Structure 1
Amino acid sequence: MILVTGATGTVGGQVAGLLAGTRPLRILARRRSEVAAAGPDAEVVRGEYADHGSLLRALTGVRAAFLVTNDIAEPDDERFVAAARASGVRHVVKLSAYAVADPQAQDLITRKQRQNERILRDSGLDWTFLRPRAFMSNALAWAPRVRSDGVVRALHGSAPDACVDPRDIAEVAVRALTGPGHEGKAYQLTGPEAITPQQQTACLSEALGRPLRFQELTADQARSQLLRRYPPVVAEALMRSAQRRLEGGKSQVVSTVRDVTGSPARDFRAWATDHAEAFA
Protein backbone atom coordinates (compact mmCIF):
# COMPACT_ATOMS: atom_id res chain seq x y z
CA MET A 1 0.00 0.00 0.00
CA ILE A 2 1.20 3.50 -0.91
CA LEU A 3 -0.12 6.61 0.85
CA VAL A 4 -0.21 9.99 -0.91
CA THR A 5 -0.61 13.27 0.95
CA GLY A 6 -1.17 16.60 -0.78
CA ALA A 7 -3.36 14.96 -3.43
CA THR A 8 -5.44 18.15 -3.77
CA GLY A 9 -2.28 20.05 -4.70
CA THR A 10 -0.11 20.51 -7.76
CA VAL A 11 2.33 17.61 -7.38
CA GLY A 12 0.43 15.31 -5.04
CA GLY A 13 -2.51 15.22 -7.42
CA GLN A 14 -0.21 14.19 -10.27
CA VAL A 15 1.38 11.47 -8.12
CA ALA A 16 -2.02 10.08 -7.14
CA GLY A 17 -3.15 10.11 -10.75
CA LEU A 18 -0.08 8.20 -11.93
CA LEU A 19 -0.42 5.58 -9.20
CA ALA A 20 -4.18 5.11 -9.51
CA GLY A 21 -5.13 1.70 -10.81
CA THR A 22 -1.54 0.42 -10.81
CA ARG A 23 -1.27 -0.70 -7.17
CA PRO A 24 -3.08 -0.32 -3.81
CA LEU A 25 -3.37 3.41 -3.15
CA ARG A 26 -4.58 5.39 -0.16
CA ILE A 27 -4.97 9.17 -0.01
CA LEU A 28 -4.97 11.33 3.11
CA ALA A 29 -7.18 14.41 2.74
CA ARG A 30 -9.11 16.81 4.94
CA ARG A 31 -12.16 16.60 2.67
CA ARG A 32 -12.96 13.59 0.49
CA SER A 33 -14.90 15.76 -1.96
CA GLU A 34 -11.72 17.62 -3.01
CA VAL A 35 -9.86 14.50 -4.14
CA ALA A 36 -10.53 13.89 -7.82
CA ALA A 37 -7.16 12.90 -9.25
CA ALA A 38 -7.03 9.26 -8.19
CA GLY A 39 -10.31 7.92 -9.55
CA PRO A 40 -12.59 5.31 -8.00
CA ASP A 41 -9.91 2.72 -7.13
CA ALA A 42 -8.13 4.79 -4.49
CA GLU A 43 -9.08 4.64 -0.84
CA VAL A 44 -9.54 8.16 0.57
CA VAL A 45 -9.02 8.52 4.32
CA ARG A 46 -10.14 11.70 6.03
CA GLY A 47 -7.49 13.18 8.32
CA GLU A 48 -4.91 15.86 8.97
CA TYR A 49 -1.42 16.15 10.38
CA ALA A 50 -2.52 17.59 13.72
CA ASP A 51 -4.79 14.57 14.36
CA HIS A 52 -2.47 11.72 15.38
CA GLY A 53 -5.29 9.18 15.40
CA SER A 54 -6.25 9.95 11.82
CA LEU A 55 -2.60 9.63 10.75
CA LEU A 56 -2.35 6.22 12.39
CA ARG A 57 -5.50 5.06 10.61
CA ALA A 58 -4.24 6.34 7.28
CA LEU A 59 -0.78 4.78 7.68
CA THR A 60 -1.84 1.32 8.86
CA GLY A 61 -0.60 -1.22 6.31
CA VAL A 62 1.30 1.41 4.30
CA ARG A 63 4.75 0.50 2.94
CA ALA A 64 5.72 3.84 1.33
CA ALA A 65 4.34 7.37 1.59
CA PHE A 66 4.57 10.59 -0.40
CA LEU A 67 4.78 13.52 2.00
CA VAL A 68 3.85 17.12 1.21
CA THR A 69 3.71 19.79 3.94
CA ASN A 70 3.22 23.52 3.49
CA ASP A 71 2.55 25.21 6.84
CA ILE A 72 5.82 26.67 8.11
CA ALA A 73 4.22 27.41 11.48
CA GLU A 74 3.29 23.79 12.24
CA PRO A 75 5.48 20.73 13.03
CA ASP A 76 3.67 18.63 10.42
CA ASP A 77 6.71 16.65 9.29
CA GLU A 78 7.50 15.71 12.86
CA ARG A 79 3.88 14.62 13.38
CA PHE A 80 3.83 12.56 10.20
CA VAL A 81 7.15 10.86 10.90
CA ALA A 82 6.07 9.90 14.43
CA ALA A 83 2.92 8.26 13.08
CA ALA A 84 4.81 6.60 10.23
CA ARG A 85 7.29 5.02 12.64
CA ALA A 86 4.48 3.81 14.90
CA SER A 87 2.65 2.29 11.91
CA GLY A 88 5.60 0.42 10.42
CA VAL A 89 6.03 2.56 7.30
CA ARG A 90 9.39 1.83 5.68
CA HIS A 91 9.97 4.60 3.12
CA VAL A 92 8.94 8.27 2.92
CA VAL A 93 9.38 10.29 -0.28
CA LYS A 94 9.41 13.93 0.78
CA LEU A 95 8.69 16.95 -1.44
CA SER A 96 11.36 19.47 -0.41
CA ALA A 97 13.03 22.35 -2.27
CA TYR A 98 16.12 22.86 -4.44
CA ALA A 99 17.37 25.72 -2.26
CA VAL A 100 17.94 23.38 0.68
CA ALA A 101 21.36 22.52 -0.77
CA ASP A 102 22.27 26.17 -1.45
CA PRO A 103 24.18 27.66 1.52
CA GLN A 104 23.38 31.16 0.24
CA ALA A 105 19.63 30.53 0.60
CA GLN A 106 18.69 31.50 4.14
CA ASP A 107 15.06 32.56 3.80
CA LEU A 108 12.49 31.25 6.27
CA ILE A 109 10.91 28.71 3.89
CA THR A 110 14.27 27.15 2.98
CA ARG A 111 15.34 26.95 6.62
CA LYS A 112 12.08 25.16 7.42
CA GLN A 113 12.64 22.66 4.63
CA ARG A 114 16.15 21.95 5.93
CA GLN A 115 14.67 21.27 9.36
CA ASN A 116 12.07 18.96 7.83
CA GLU A 117 14.73 17.00 5.98
CA ARG A 118 16.71 16.58 9.21
CA ILE A 119 13.63 15.13 10.90
CA LEU A 120 13.45 12.42 8.25
CA ARG A 121 17.20 11.79 8.22
CA ASP A 122 17.09 11.21 11.99
CA SER A 123 13.90 9.12 11.95
CA GLY A 124 15.35 5.72 11.16
CA LEU A 125 13.00 5.45 8.15
CA ASP A 126 14.20 5.12 4.58
CA TRP A 127 13.81 8.47 2.84
CA THR A 128 14.05 10.12 -0.56
CA PHE A 129 14.06 13.90 -0.97
CA LEU A 130 12.69 15.59 -4.08
CA ARG A 131 14.16 19.09 -4.40
CA PRO A 132 12.54 20.90 -7.33
CA ARG A 133 13.09 24.39 -8.59
CA ALA A 134 10.01 26.61 -8.98
CA PHE A 135 7.02 24.92 -10.59
CA MET A 136 6.21 25.94 -14.15
CA SER A 137 2.59 25.94 -12.99
CA ASN A 138 3.31 29.05 -10.90
CA ALA A 139 2.70 30.88 -14.18
CA LEU A 140 -1.02 30.14 -13.75
CA ALA A 141 -1.06 33.11 -11.37
CA TRP A 142 -0.70 35.27 -14.48
CA ALA A 143 -3.77 33.79 -16.18
CA PRO A 144 -6.43 36.34 -15.06
CA ARG A 145 -4.45 39.32 -16.38
CA VAL A 146 -3.49 37.45 -19.55
CA ARG A 147 -7.15 36.69 -20.23
CA SER A 148 -8.37 40.19 -19.47
CA ASP A 149 -5.54 42.46 -20.65
CA GLY A 150 -2.97 40.33 -22.47
CA VAL A 151 -0.38 41.32 -19.86
CA VAL A 152 2.04 39.32 -17.72
CA ARG A 153 3.13 41.25 -14.63
CA ALA A 154 6.10 39.85 -12.68
CA LEU A 155 9.15 40.80 -10.68
CA HIS A 156 12.63 40.65 -12.25
CA GLY A 157 11.62 39.95 -15.83
CA SER A 158 15.16 39.15 -17.00
CA ALA A 159 16.08 36.84 -14.10
CA PRO A 160 16.43 33.16 -15.11
CA ASP A 161 14.97 30.19 -13.25
CA ALA A 162 15.38 26.54 -14.25
CA CYS A 163 11.72 25.91 -13.39
CA VAL A 164 10.34 22.38 -13.65
CA ASP A 165 7.07 20.86 -14.83
CA PRO A 166 5.14 19.35 -11.87
CA ARG A 167 4.42 16.33 -14.07
CA ASP A 168 8.15 15.58 -14.12
CA ILE A 169 8.37 15.89 -10.34
CA ALA A 170 5.50 13.43 -10.04
CA GLU A 171 7.17 10.98 -12.44
CA VAL A 172 10.30 10.98 -10.28
CA ALA A 173 8.19 10.58 -7.13
CA VAL A 174 6.45 7.52 -8.54
CA ARG A 175 9.77 5.92 -9.46
CA ALA A 176 11.01 6.50 -5.91
CA LEU A 177 7.81 5.14 -4.35
CA THR A 178 7.61 2.00 -6.46
CA GLY A 179 11.17 0.97 -7.36
CA PRO A 180 14.36 0.03 -5.53
CA GLY A 181 17.52 2.05 -5.19
CA HIS A 182 16.08 5.46 -4.33
CA GLU A 183 16.49 5.26 -0.57
CA GLY A 184 18.88 7.83 0.87
CA LYS A 185 18.87 9.91 -2.34
CA ALA A 186 18.22 13.65 -2.63
CA TYR A 187 17.10 14.47 -6.17
CA GLN A 188 17.62 18.02 -7.44
CA LEU A 189 14.97 18.61 -10.14
CA THR A 190 14.94 21.27 -12.85
CA GLY A 191 13.59 21.83 -16.30
CA PRO A 192 15.89 21.56 -19.33
CA GLU A 193 16.73 25.28 -19.38
CA ALA A 194 16.77 28.39 -17.26
CA ILE A 195 14.06 30.73 -18.49
CA THR A 196 13.09 34.29 -17.58
CA PRO A 197 9.56 35.67 -17.07
CA GLN A 198 9.97 37.64 -20.28
CA GLN A 199 10.80 34.44 -22.17
CA GLN A 200 7.91 32.66 -20.51
CA THR A 201 5.64 35.44 -21.75
CA ALA A 202 6.89 34.85 -25.29
CA CYS A 203 6.16 31.10 -24.96
CA LEU A 204 2.64 31.81 -23.74
CA SER A 205 2.10 34.25 -26.60
CA GLU A 206 3.16 31.56 -29.07
CA ALA A 207 0.90 28.96 -27.46
CA LEU A 208 -2.09 31.33 -27.52
CA GLY A 209 -1.43 32.67 -31.00
CA ARG A 210 -1.78 36.27 -29.89
CA PRO A 211 0.58 38.98 -28.64
CA LEU A 212 1.19 39.41 -24.93
CA ARG A 213 2.97 42.23 -23.17
CA PHE A 214 5.35 41.86 -20.22
CA GLN A 215 5.19 44.46 -17.46
CA GLU A 216 7.89 44.56 -14.76
CA LEU A 217 6.69 44.89 -11.18
CA THR A 218 8.58 47.04 -8.72
CA ALA A 219 9.67 45.43 -5.47
CA ASP A 220 6.94 47.30 -3.59
CA GLN A 221 4.27 46.15 -6.05
CA ALA A 222 5.45 42.54 -5.83
CA ARG A 223 5.54 42.64 -2.04
CA SER A 224 2.04 44.12 -1.94
CA GLN A 225 0.72 41.31 -4.15
CA LEU A 226 2.34 38.67 -1.96
CA LEU A 227 0.94 40.21 1.22
CA ARG A 228 -2.56 39.80 -0.19
CA ARG A 229 -1.97 36.03 -0.36
CA TYR A 230 0.51 35.20 2.43
CA PRO A 231 1.48 36.19 5.98
CA PRO A 232 4.23 38.82 6.15
CA VAL A 233 6.96 36.34 7.10
CA VAL A 234 6.15 34.16 4.08
CA ALA A 235 5.91 37.16 1.74
CA GLU A 236 9.33 38.35 2.88
CA ALA A 237 10.80 34.87 2.39
CA LEU A 238 9.46 34.82 -1.17
CA MET A 239 10.94 38.27 -1.83
CA ARG A 240 14.34 37.04 -0.66
CA SER A 241 13.96 34.02 -2.90
CA ALA A 242 13.23 36.30 -5.85
CA GLN A 243 16.40 38.25 -5.10
CA ARG A 244 18.37 34.99 -5.29
CA ARG A 245 16.87 34.43 -8.74
CA LEU A 246 17.95 37.92 -9.83
CA GLU A 247 21.50 37.14 -8.67
CA GLY A 248 21.58 34.02 -10.85
CA GLY A 249 21.20 31.58 -7.98
CA LYS A 250 18.42 29.61 -9.66
CA SER A 251 19.78 29.13 -13.15
CA GLN A 252 21.59 25.80 -12.77
CA VAL A 253 20.17 22.99 -14.91
CA VAL A 254 20.55 19.32 -13.91
CA SER A 255 19.66 16.10 -15.73
CA THR A 256 18.00 14.29 -12.82
CA VAL A 257 14.57 13.94 -14.46
CA ARG A 258 16.11 12.13 -17.43
CA ASP A 259 18.46 10.13 -15.19
CA VAL A 260 15.62 8.80 -13.02
CA THR A 261 12.76 8.44 -15.51
CA GLY A 262 14.59 7.86 -18.78
CA SER A 263 12.71 10.75 -20.42
CA PRO A 264 13.90 14.34 -20.83
CA ALA A 265 12.41 17.04 -18.66
CA ARG A 266 9.61 18.99 -20.34
CA ASP A 267 10.40 22.57 -21.31
CA PHE A 268 8.22 25.60 -20.59
CA ARG A 269 7.08 25.84 -24.21
CA ALA A 270 5.53 22.37 -23.90
CA TRP A 271 3.95 23.30 -20.57
CA ALA A 272 2.47 26.49 -22.08
CA THR A 273 1.03 24.59 -25.03
CA ASP A 274 -0.53 21.98 -22.79
CA HIS A 275 -2.07 24.61 -20.47
CA ALA A 276 -2.99 27.28 -23.00
CA GLU A 277 -6.70 26.85 -22.26
CA ALA A 278 -6.17 28.31 -18.78
CA PHE A 279 -4.93 31.57 -20.37
CA ALA A 280 -7.33 31.73 -23.30
Structure 2
Amino acid sequence: MILVTGATGTVGRLVAERLSGTGPLRLLTRDPRRAPLAGPGTEAVGGDFDDLGSLREALTGVRSALLVTTNPLAPGQDENFLTAARTAGVRHVVKLSAQAVADPGAVDLITRWQRDNEELLRASGLPWTFLRPRAFMSNTLSWARSVRDEGVVRALHGTSRNSTVDPRDIADVAVRVLADPGAHVGRGYALTGPAALSAVHQTEILGELLERPLKLVELSQDQALSGLLARYPEPLARALVESAVRGRDGAKAHVDPTVGEVLGRPARTYRDWAVDHLSVFRA
Protein backbone atom coordinates (compact mmCIF):
# COMPACT_ATOMS: atom_id res chain seq x y z
CA MET A 1 0.00 0.00 0.00
CA ILE A 2 1.08 3.58 -0.74
CA LEU A 3 0.28 6.43 1.64
CA VAL A 4 0.00 10.02 0.40
CA THR A 5 0.16 12.87 2.91
CA GLY A 6 -0.85 16.38 1.92
CA ALA A 7 -3.57 14.84 -0.22
CA THR A 8 -5.59 18.06 -0.31
CA GLY A 9 -2.57 20.17 -1.30
CA THR A 10 -1.06 21.08 -4.64
CA VAL A 11 1.29 18.13 -5.15
CA GLY A 12 -0.35 15.54 -2.90
CA ARG A 13 -3.69 15.89 -4.66
CA LEU A 14 -2.08 15.39 -8.07
CA VAL A 15 -0.15 12.34 -6.85
CA ALA A 16 -3.34 10.84 -5.40
CA GLU A 17 -5.17 11.34 -8.68
CA ARG A 18 -2.40 9.61 -10.62
CA LEU A 19 -2.16 6.67 -8.22
CA SER A 20 -5.90 6.12 -8.01
CA GLY A 21 -6.81 2.73 -9.44
CA THR A 22 -3.22 1.49 -9.66
CA GLY A 23 -3.24 -0.36 -6.34
CA PRO A 24 -4.09 0.07 -2.66
CA LEU A 25 -3.89 3.77 -1.79
CA ARG A 26 -4.35 5.54 1.53
CA LEU A 27 -4.77 9.32 1.81
CA LEU A 28 -3.85 11.01 5.08
CA THR A 29 -5.74 14.22 5.85
CA ARG A 30 -6.80 15.99 9.02
CA ASP A 31 -10.40 15.72 7.78
CA PRO A 32 -11.08 12.61 5.65
CA ARG A 33 -14.24 14.26 4.30
CA ARG A 34 -12.00 16.64 2.37
CA ALA A 35 -10.05 13.88 0.64
CA PRO A 36 -10.00 14.46 -3.13
CA LEU A 37 -10.72 10.83 -4.05
CA ALA A 38 -12.79 7.92 -2.86
CA GLY A 39 -13.68 4.52 -4.26
CA PRO A 40 -12.41 0.96 -4.56
CA GLY A 41 -8.77 0.65 -3.56
CA THR A 42 -8.60 4.14 -2.08
CA GLU A 43 -9.24 5.02 1.55
CA ALA A 44 -9.03 8.34 3.37
CA VAL A 45 -7.91 8.32 6.98
CA GLY A 46 -7.76 11.09 9.54
CA GLY A 47 -4.47 11.99 11.11
CA ASP A 48 -2.33 14.86 12.31
CA PHE A 49 1.44 15.28 12.17
CA ASP A 50 1.32 16.41 15.80
CA ASP A 51 -0.50 13.21 16.88
CA LEU A 52 1.91 10.29 16.90
CA GLY A 53 -0.83 7.75 17.58
CA SER A 54 -2.84 8.78 14.52
CA LEU A 55 0.30 8.54 12.38
CA ARG A 56 1.09 5.03 13.62
CA GLU A 57 -2.43 3.93 12.77
CA ALA A 58 -2.35 5.54 9.32
CA LEU A 59 1.02 3.98 8.46
CA THR A 60 0.15 0.42 9.46
CA GLY A 61 0.42 -1.81 6.38
CA VAL A 62 2.05 0.92 4.25
CA ARG A 63 4.96 0.02 1.95
CA SER A 64 5.83 3.47 0.56
CA ALA A 65 4.83 6.96 1.66
CA LEU A 66 4.91 10.46 0.20
CA LEU A 67 5.78 12.89 3.00
CA VAL A 68 4.62 16.47 2.51
CA THR A 69 4.88 18.84 5.47
CA THR A 70 4.24 22.57 5.13
CA ASN A 71 4.79 24.29 8.48
CA PRO A 72 8.34 25.40 9.30
CA LEU A 73 7.04 26.64 12.65
CA ALA A 74 6.20 23.03 13.67
CA PRO A 75 9.60 21.36 13.31
CA GLY A 76 8.60 18.20 15.17
CA GLN A 77 6.16 17.02 12.53
CA ASP A 78 8.66 15.24 10.28
CA GLU A 79 10.24 13.54 13.28
CA ASN A 80 6.81 12.30 14.40
CA PHE A 81 6.08 10.90 10.97
CA LEU A 82 9.43 9.12 10.70
CA THR A 83 9.09 7.65 14.19
CA ALA A 84 5.68 6.24 13.23
CA ALA A 85 7.00 5.02 9.86
CA ARG A 86 9.81 3.05 11.52
CA THR A 87 7.36 1.48 13.95
CA ALA A 88 5.04 0.50 11.10
CA GLY A 89 7.81 -1.01 8.98
CA VAL A 90 7.50 1.41 6.06
CA ARG A 91 10.09 0.53 3.41
CA HIS A 92 10.43 3.79 1.48
CA VAL A 93 9.74 7.47 2.25
CA VAL A 94 9.59 9.99 -0.59
CA LYS A 95 10.09 13.45 0.89
CA LEU A 96 8.93 16.63 -0.84
CA SER A 97 11.72 19.07 -0.04
CA ALA A 98 13.07 22.11 -1.92
CA GLN A 99 15.90 22.80 -4.34
CA ALA A 100 17.28 25.51 -2.05
CA VAL A 101 18.59 22.89 0.41
CA ALA A 102 21.42 22.16 -2.02
CA ASP A 103 22.53 25.82 -2.03
CA PRO A 104 24.92 26.63 0.86
CA GLY A 105 23.99 30.29 0.48
CA ALA A 106 20.34 29.61 1.32
CA VAL A 107 19.98 30.08 5.08
CA ASP A 108 16.43 31.41 5.45
CA LEU A 109 14.09 29.79 7.96
CA ILE A 110 12.18 27.71 5.41
CA THR A 111 15.32 26.30 3.79
CA ARG A 112 16.93 25.48 7.14
CA TRP A 113 13.76 23.63 8.13
CA GLN A 114 13.76 21.56 4.93
CA ARG A 115 17.46 20.87 5.27
CA ASP A 116 16.94 19.66 8.83
CA ASN A 117 14.05 17.45 7.66
CA GLU A 118 16.28 15.81 5.08
CA GLU A 119 18.88 15.10 7.74
CA LEU A 120 16.22 13.55 9.97
CA LEU A 121 15.18 11.21 7.19
CA ARG A 122 18.77 10.24 6.38
CA ALA A 123 19.40 9.47 10.05
CA SER A 124 16.16 7.50 10.46
CA GLY A 125 17.45 4.37 8.78
CA LEU A 126 14.47 4.39 6.41
CA PRO A 127 15.12 4.15 2.65
CA TRP A 128 14.51 7.61 1.20
CA THR A 129 14.22 9.71 -1.93
CA PHE A 130 14.17 13.53 -1.93
CA LEU A 131 12.16 15.55 -4.42
CA ARG A 132 13.61 19.06 -4.58
CA PRO A 133 11.53 21.34 -6.79
CA ARG A 134 12.07 24.96 -7.61
CA ALA A 135 9.12 27.30 -7.11
CA PHE A 136 5.83 26.03 -8.51
CA MET A 137 4.50 27.59 -11.70
CA SER A 138 1.13 27.55 -9.97
CA ASN A 139 2.38 30.21 -7.54
CA THR A 140 1.43 32.71 -10.22
CA LEU A 141 -2.23 31.93 -9.50
CA SER A 142 -1.80 34.60 -6.82
CA TRP A 143 -1.82 37.11 -9.69
CA ALA A 144 -5.22 35.99 -10.96
CA ARG A 145 -7.40 38.63 -9.33
CA SER A 146 -5.23 41.59 -10.26
CA VAL A 147 -4.87 40.25 -13.81
CA ARG A 148 -8.64 39.84 -14.15
CA ASP A 149 -9.59 43.13 -12.54
CA GLU A 150 -6.75 45.45 -13.49
CA GLY A 151 -4.58 43.82 -16.14
CA VAL A 152 -1.71 44.08 -13.64
CA VAL A 153 0.85 41.72 -12.11
CA ARG A 154 2.56 42.90 -8.93
CA ALA A 155 5.88 41.25 -8.10
CA LEU A 156 9.06 41.74 -6.12
CA HIS A 157 12.25 41.66 -8.20
CA GLY A 158 10.27 41.23 -11.43
CA THR A 159 13.34 40.62 -13.59
CA SER A 160 14.69 37.80 -11.38
CA ARG A 161 14.82 34.52 -13.27
CA ASN A 162 13.51 31.31 -11.71
CA SER A 163 13.43 27.85 -13.28
CA THR A 164 9.92 27.23 -11.98
CA VAL A 165 8.39 23.77 -12.35
CA ASP A 166 4.88 22.58 -13.17
CA PRO A 167 3.41 20.79 -10.12
CA ARG A 168 2.10 18.13 -12.50
CA ASP A 169 5.70 17.24 -13.35
CA ILE A 170 6.57 16.97 -9.65
CA ALA A 171 3.60 14.63 -9.21
CA ASP A 172 4.58 12.54 -12.23
CA VAL A 173 8.10 12.11 -10.83
CA ALA A 174 6.70 11.24 -7.40
CA VAL A 175 4.51 8.52 -8.89
CA ARG A 176 7.47 6.99 -10.74
CA VAL A 177 9.53 6.98 -7.56
CA LEU A 178 6.75 5.55 -5.38
CA ALA A 179 5.96 2.82 -7.91
CA ASP A 180 9.57 1.65 -8.32
CA PRO A 181 11.50 2.45 -5.12
CA GLY A 182 14.52 0.33 -5.94
CA ALA A 183 15.55 2.54 -8.82
CA HIS A 184 15.37 5.74 -6.80
CA VAL A 185 16.37 5.04 -3.18
CA GLY A 186 19.11 7.33 -1.92
CA ARG A 187 18.62 9.91 -4.67
CA GLY A 188 17.89 13.62 -4.41
CA TYR A 189 16.12 14.89 -7.52
CA ALA A 190 16.37 18.55 -8.55
CA LEU A 191 13.08 19.33 -10.30
CA THR A 192 12.92 22.42 -12.51
CA GLY A 193 11.16 23.59 -15.61
CA PRO A 194 12.93 23.76 -18.96
CA ALA A 195 13.75 27.48 -18.76
CA ALA A 196 14.42 30.17 -16.17
CA LEU A 197 11.83 32.92 -16.58
CA SER A 198 11.25 36.16 -14.75
CA ALA A 199 7.90 37.55 -13.67
CA VAL A 200 8.25 39.94 -16.61
CA HIS A 201 8.47 36.99 -19.02
CA GLN A 202 5.58 35.17 -17.36
CA THR A 203 3.45 38.32 -17.56
CA GLU A 204 4.23 38.59 -21.28
CA ILE A 205 3.18 34.97 -21.84
CA LEU A 206 -0.08 35.45 -19.96
CA GLY A 207 -0.81 38.62 -21.93
CA GLU A 208 -0.22 36.86 -25.26
CA LEU A 209 -2.49 33.99 -24.32
CA LEU A 210 -5.20 36.27 -22.94
CA GLU A 211 -4.85 38.58 -25.95
CA ARG A 212 -4.84 41.64 -23.72
CA PRO A 213 -2.03 43.91 -22.54
CA LEU A 214 -0.77 43.19 -19.04
CA LYS A 215 1.50 45.43 -16.99
CA LEU A 216 4.01 44.35 -14.37
CA VAL A 217 4.26 46.66 -11.35
CA GLU A 218 7.46 46.26 -9.36
CA LEU A 219 6.90 46.02 -5.61
CA SER A 220 9.34 47.44 -3.12
CA GLN A 221 10.64 45.05 -0.49
CA ASP A 222 8.48 46.75 2.16
CA GLN A 223 5.38 46.42 -0.03
CA ALA A 224 6.08 42.75 -0.68
CA LEU A 225 6.64 42.10 3.03
CA SER A 226 3.41 43.87 3.93
CA GLY A 227 1.46 41.68 1.51
CA LEU A 228 3.07 38.52 2.82
CA LEU A 229 2.37 39.49 6.44
CA ALA A 230 -1.32 39.55 5.59
CA ARG A 231 -1.11 35.83 4.73
CA TYR A 232 1.70 34.34 6.80
CA PRO A 233 3.23 34.60 10.28
CA GLU A 234 6.06 37.12 10.40
CA PRO A 235 8.95 34.59 10.46
CA LEU A 236 7.65 32.94 7.27
CA ALA A 237 6.97 36.26 5.54
CA ARG A 238 10.51 37.44 6.24
CA ALA A 239 11.95 34.12 5.07
CA LEU A 240 10.09 34.45 1.76
CA VAL A 241 11.47 37.96 1.22
CA GLU A 242 14.96 36.72 2.07
CA SER A 243 14.54 33.94 -0.48
CA ALA A 244 13.41 36.46 -3.10
CA VAL A 245 16.62 38.45 -2.59
CA ARG A 246 18.61 35.31 -3.41
CA GLY A 247 16.54 34.98 -6.56
CA ARG A 248 17.36 38.57 -7.50
CA ASP A 249 21.03 37.64 -7.27
CA GLY A 250 20.61 34.72 -9.69
CA ALA A 251 20.49 31.80 -7.26
CA LYS A 252 17.34 30.24 -8.77
CA ALA A 253 18.06 30.33 -12.48
CA HIS A 254 19.76 26.96 -12.96
CA VAL A 255 17.85 24.53 -15.19
CA ASP A 256 18.22 20.86 -14.33
CA PRO A 257 17.47 17.96 -16.74
CA THR A 258 16.16 15.55 -14.08
CA VAL A 259 12.44 15.82 -14.88
CA GLY A 260 13.09 14.79 -18.46
CA GLU A 261 15.49 12.03 -17.45
CA VAL A 262 13.06 10.46 -14.98
CA LEU A 263 9.93 10.84 -17.11
CA GLY A 264 11.38 10.26 -20.57
CA ARG A 265 9.74 13.42 -21.90
CA PRO A 266 10.46 17.16 -21.70
CA ALA A 267 9.44 19.11 -18.64
CA ARG A 268 6.35 21.25 -19.20
CA THR A 269 6.93 24.92 -19.98
CA TYR A 270 5.30 27.87 -18.25
CA ARG A 271 3.29 28.40 -21.44
CA ASP A 272 2.03 24.81 -21.19
CA TRP A 273 0.95 25.44 -17.61
CA ALA A 274 -0.66 28.79 -18.41
CA VAL A 275 -2.69 27.41 -21.34
CA ASP A 276 -4.22 24.80 -19.05
CA HIS A 277 -5.08 27.35 -16.33
CA LEU A 278 -5.97 30.35 -18.46
CA SER A 279 -9.62 30.48 -17.42
CA VAL A 280 -8.54 31.57 -13.91
CA PHE A 281 -6.93 34.71 -15.36
CA ARG A 282 -9.74 35.69 -17.74
CA ALA A 283 -11.72 38.80 -16.91
| Aligned match of 1:55 | 55
TM-score (norm 1): 0.98
Q: CA deviation at 1:189?
A: 0.6
Q: 2: distance between equivalents of 1:76 and 1:173? A: 21
C-alpha separation in 2, matches of 1:34 and 1:151: 33
Letter in structure 2 aligned against 1:106:
V
CA contact under 8 A between 1:17 and 1:39: conserved in structure 2? Answer: no
Task: Give 1:123's aligned amino acid.
Answer: S
CA distance in 1, matches of 2:34, 2:254: 36
Asked if the contact 2:38/2:44 (under 8 Å) is kept, the reply is no
Alpha-carbon shift at residue 147 of structure 1 (Å): 1.0
Aligned to 1:2: 2
Q: Which amino acid aligns with 2:269?
A: D
Q: How far apart, in 1, do the equivalents of 2:256 and 2:209 lie?
A: 26
Question: Residues 131-185 of structure 1: CA distance to partner in whole angstroms, max 9, x if unpaired?
Answer: 0000000000000111111111111111100000000000111111001310000
C-alpha contact 2:130 2:187 (8 A) present in aligned 1: yes
Correspondence for 1:158: 159
Partner of 2:117: 116
Per the alignment, residue 251 of structure 1 pairs with 253
Matched-pair contact (CA < 8 Å) for 1:93–1:128: yes
Displacement, 1:211?
A: 1.6
- Secondary structure at the aligned position of 1:7 is classed as coil
Name the CA distance, whole Å, in 1 between partners of 2:38 and 2:261: 29
In structure 2, the residue matched to 1:86 is 87
Matches of 2:5 and 2:228, distance apart in 1? 26
For the residue of structure 2 that corresponds to 1:45, the secondary structure is: strand
Deviation (angstroms), 1:40: 2.2
| Pairwise CA distance, 1:73 | 1.9
What is the aligned-residue identity percentage? Answer: 58
Q: Name the structure 2 match of 1:23.
A: 23
Q: Which runs of 4+ in 1 moved over 2 A?
A: 38-41
Does structure 1 residue 181 correspond to structure 2 residue 186? no
Corresponding position of 2:280: 278
- For 1:203 and 1:10, how far apart are their aligned partners in 2? 23
3-state SS, counterpart of residue 216 of structure 2 = strand
Find out whether 1:69 has 2:73 as its counterpart.
Answer: no
CA distance in 2, matches of 1:14, 1:205: 27
**1:39: Cα distance to partner?**
4.0
TM-score where L is the length of structure 2: 0.97
Whole-angstrom CA distance in 2 between matches of 1:209 and 1:7? 35
Quick one: distance in 2 between partners of 1:67 and 1:277? 31
Counterpart check, 1:195 vs 2:222: no
Aligned counterpart, 1:103: 104
Deviation at 1:213, TM superposition (A): 1.1
| 1:92 CA drift (Å) | 0.2
Aligned equivalents of 1:207 and 1:62: distance in 2?
Answer: 44
Report how far residue 210 of structure 1 moved. Answer: 1.6
**What is the root-mean-square deviation in Å for CA atoms of aligned residues?**
0.8
Q: Which runs of 5+ in 2 are unaligned?
A: none
